Amino acid sequence: MNFRRRRNRAQAHEFEHTEAPQQNPQAAYSGPEPGATVENGAVPQAAGEQAVAQTATLPPPMGSPRLEPQRWPETTVPVFSAPVPAGLWPAVRRHWVLAVLPVIALTAAGLAYGLHRQPTYTATAKLAVSKLELTSPGALAGFTQAAQALAETFSRSVDAAGVVNPTARALGIPSSVVQSRTSAVPVAQTPVFLVTATGPSRRSAVTLANATSVSLVAYLKRVNSTDSEAHSLLSQYRSQAQLVEQARSARDAALHTYQTKSTGANLAALQTASAVLETGQTHLQALQVAYQDTVENNPSPDLVQFVTPADAANSDRRSKIALFAFAGLVAGLVVGVALVSLRSLASSPRT
């Protein structure tokens, strides 16, 4: 036991007088670590040996060099951020306020315009083809097709001057206003057609629709009436009757001359006057027959009649409010997406 103590003191004395290396102080010290435990006073000789824990703890040897913490060279550590998702929808989610504000603003503007806009009222009168000439064979079989065709044709006459001008005079408004605010369309597969008029109020729309319908019925009656043809035939008949009377007088004079002096020249003049009279009488009889046929077989001019006059008008206020609000919504979406796209492009890193 005394021998071991003397050996330990000698090693400690020798360690105190030994100069520590400057390059690696940790490698110069091969004794136990500060705070390490030894068993029965034994000191591990190698740095890699495992010492068994004991109750006694050795203090660091006296005169041991002070261990300084190793300093590493300062370097710049790059900071990595999470990658930004690409695409339109992630950009909208990041800048949702920028996307929503134009939608709210433009939708509200559309609603405001629709609420403050002057509504337009529409009134409709219903007319129908009522009477056709059915005296000819097979006319009844084609009545439906003929009535539908006439309804389509008559509806196109709403812009005729014979309809627009009387309506304008009756209401005291310009003809251009009547023409721009009235229209007519046929109802498919029926002899009915609709006369539609618009106006700034219910009363004006109803009045214009009914006045236009009355003018249209009167115009179609004048156009489809044969009174003008009968009048023309009557005028021709009267003129021809005068010519026949003149030819008869000439024939009577030629006959008297021939009876007074029976010569060949007088006979030729008598024959010529008789031929002229006969031709005139034939023409007069033809005009008489034509006039009678026109008067007797004249189809009814009342081809169109009212089915339902206009008595109410509808406003486009609700439909226009919905239309302008939807337009504002769509415009807001477009503007919002455009702003978000520009914002994303501005904030994206430049390469």
pLDDT digits (tens, 9 = 90+) for 263-276: 888 888 888 989 98
Lowest mean pLDDT among 16-20, 66-70, 151-155, 218-222: 16-20
| Two tokens, residue 281 | 């009488």
- How many whole angstroms separate alpha carbon 22 and alpha carbon 20? 6
For residue 98, give the nearest of 332, 282, 290 by alpha carbon. 332
Q: What would be the CATH architecture of the domain defined by 227-296?
A: Up-down Bundle (1.20)
DSSP 301: S
| Two tokens, residue 173 | 């408004």
Which residues belong to CATH 1.20.58 in the chain?
227-296
| Two tokens, residue 179 | 């023409």
pLDDT at 41: 46
Quick one: 346 exposed, middle or buried, by C-beta within 10 A (0-12, 13-18, 19+)?
exposed
CATH class of the region 121-225+302-313: alpha beta
- How many whole angstroms separate alpha carbon 337 and alpha carbon 141? 63
**Does position 97 have pLDDT exceeding 90, yes or no?**
no
Inter-residue contact 54 to 39 (CB < 8 Å) = yes
pLDDT at 164: 93
Which residues belong to CATH 3.30.1890.10 in the chain?
121-225+302-313
pLDDT winner (highest mean) among 81-95, 205-219, 288-302: 205-219
pLDDT at 37: 47
| Two tokens, residue 105 | 């603003």
pTM metric for this prediction:
0.49
Size of the chain, expressed as the number of residues it contains: 351
Where do the H-state alpha helices sit in 182-316? Answer: 202-224, 227-260, 264-296
Instruction: Grade residue 51 by pLDDT with cuts at 50, 70 and 90.
Output: very low
CA angle 315, 321, 327 (to 5 degrees): 135
Instruction: Grade residue 149 by pLDDT with cuts at 50, 70 and 90.
Output: confident
pLDDT at 167: 93
Instruction: Grade residue 26 by pLDDT with cuts at 50, 70 and 90.
Output: very low
pLDDT at 266: 85
**Does position 145 have pLDDT exceeding 90, yes or no?**
no
pLDDT at 141: 44
pLDDT at 105: 92
